[in-house]
Amino acid sequence: DQQVKQNSPSLSVQEGRISILNCDYTNSMFDYFLWYKKYPAEGPTFLISISSIKDKNEDGRFTVFLNKSAKHLSLHIVPSQPGDSAVYFCAAMEGGNTPLVFGKGTRLSVIA
């Protein structure tokens, strides 16, 4: 049973527009959520995170929103740039020093 779900395997967005990547989770014990960006044949690189005590965290062009009641989070990228094209993984964890549980990823293509 997948605890972290990214239901959209792919997303295409025009350059300059907003990219919204969605993630749902089922484990109510998750209290920290992270987004990673991954290029082929490379390890994931950390993008942004959010603690369960917050509902929004912003870092430059990246904003993560958390809706705990719906067990849903989203990553907004605005404006989208061609260099943002990659696979984005949503990940969650129950606390410090615990492994990450990943979603299957969403492939974002930003079209110039």
Partner 1 sequence: GAVVSQHPSRVICKSGTSVKIECRSLDFQATTMFWYRQFPKKSLMLMATSNEGSKATYEQGVEKDKFLINHASLTLSTLTVTSAHPEDSSFYICSAIDAGVVGNEQFFGPGTRLTVL
Q: Is residue 13 within 8 Å of 112, Cβ to Cβ?
A: no
Residue 8 or 49: the one with the smaller Cβ distance to partner 1 is 49
> Cβ of 40: how many Cβ atoms within 10 Å?
6
34 binds partner 1 (CB under 8 A): yes
Residue 38 or 78: the one with the smaller Cβ distance to partner 1 is 38
With CB under 8 A as the contact rule, the residue among 29, 46, 54, 111 that binds partner 1 is: 46
Longest dimension (CA), the chain: 40
Query: Which listed range, 20-28, 60-68, 77-85, 88-96, lies at the site for partner 1 (CB under 8 A)?
Result: 88-96
Comparing C-alpha atoms, which of 44, 43, 49 is closest to residue 62? 49
43 binds partner 1 (CB under 8 A): yes
